[in-house]
Amino acid sequence: MCLQLVAFELSPPRAFSAWRDITYMILCDIGLNSVPDPQDLSVLTLDDFRILQSLVAKRQELPRVTVAFFNQDGRNSVRNSAEDIPDFVDTGRSFGLFDRSRRSWAMASFSGSSSAELCTPPMPISSPYSGLHDFVSGTQHTPNGIIAAQTDCSDEMNLHEFLAFSGLRCGPRLQWFNIAREFASPSLSFSREEVHTLITQAAWQLGPLSNGVREWHVDLAISTFGDALLRALSSLLRMVQANWQEEVTVRTIGT
């Protein structure tokens, strides 16, 4: 099996190398908040073996992820004889996937990799909504948690808006009902970019897929709910259409 792996890595299909490198880049560089610092490793990749250099695929740029072997003698010398290769290949502990860019072994697990944080615009630090980012980025907060968080309400925001803003995404299956209710309510300041971010985050985050259906958005398939939502949008648009300062509100309605 090890020899088959080495034979494959000598000249992997370009499409496979591109897929593996891009997948690794997304999971590691983008999806992980922090990556362990690279260790000072003494390794040999296949192109370090002189006997194999004529077999290694000639490319302008070598793939980022490849197979590497522990350099057991601690030197970075290039191997000259074919007898050296089985010594590295025969022992399962002597090789692994290697990240050329970081000069480290490829990550063993990506269970913590997620792009969710990158897909949620941050609240401006100077904004009265700056402490409410957690209520925008997820749906796990509870009504009791919102009540307990009232002490974080900014002096520039009234308590009714705080409760409406923080409660809009409270429960994934309640989001669209909350959106429809708030469009018909004066609680939220729709002229604020932060409220636009909240609404679009709730409307655009897909959520889990169950039996081919996006659970968080099944309400949009109910005609009576769709009619109620459109009526609320139309009513809000009529209220603000003469005010040029309500550009953000109109953008939210269009969303």
172 & 223 share domain:
yes
Q: Kindly state whether residue 120 falls inside one of the protein's structural domains.
A: no
User: What is the amino acid identity at position 200?
Assistant: T
Q: Kindly state whether residue 228 falls inside one of the protein's structural domains.
A: yes
144 & 92 share domain:
no
Q: Kindly state whether residue 116 falls inside one of the protein's structural domains.
A: no
What is the domain range of residue 100? Answer: 2-105
Does residue 136 have a pLDDT over 50?
yes
Please report which confidence band the pLDDT of residue 58 belongs to, taking 50, 70 and 90 as the band edges.
Answer: low
**Please, what is the average pLDDT of the chain?**
83
168 & 92 share domain:
no
Q: Kindly state whether residue 70 falls inside one of the protein's structural domains.
A: yes
Q: Kindly state whether residue 101 falls inside one of the protein's structural domains.
A: yes
Please report which confidence band the pLDDT of residue 98 belongs to, taking 50, 70 and 90 as the band edges.
Answer: confident
> pTM for the complete prediction?
0.66
Instruction: Please indicate whether residue 114 or residue 130 has the higher confidence score (pLDDT).
Output: 130
Q: Kindly state whether residue 91 falls inside one of the protein's structural domains.
A: yes
Domain count, the chain: 2
160 & 98 share domain:
no
248 & 137 share domain:
yes
Across the range 153-158, mean pLDDT stands at: 89
Percentage of the chain modeled with pLDDT above 90: 38
80 & 144 share domain:
no
Instruction: Please indicate whether residue 111 or residue 23 has the higher confidence score (pLDDT).
Output: 23
Question: What's the confidence (pLDDT) of residue 71?
Answer: 65
Q: What is the pLDDT of residues 17-45, one digit of tens each?
A: 899 999 999 888 888 877 777 666 777 77
Q: What is the pLDDT of residues 67-96, one digit of tens each?
A: 888 766 554 444 444 445 555 555 445 678
50 & 89 share domain:
yes
Q: Kindly state whether residue 125 falls inside one of the protein's structural domains.
A: no
Does residue 142 have a pLDDT over 50?
yes
Does residue 219 have a pLDDT over 80?
yes
User: Which of 105, 138, 161 is where one domain is finished?
Assistant: 105
Q: Kindly state whether residue 168 falls inside one of the protein's structural domains.
A: yes
9 & 87 share domain:
yes
91 & 15 share domain:
yes
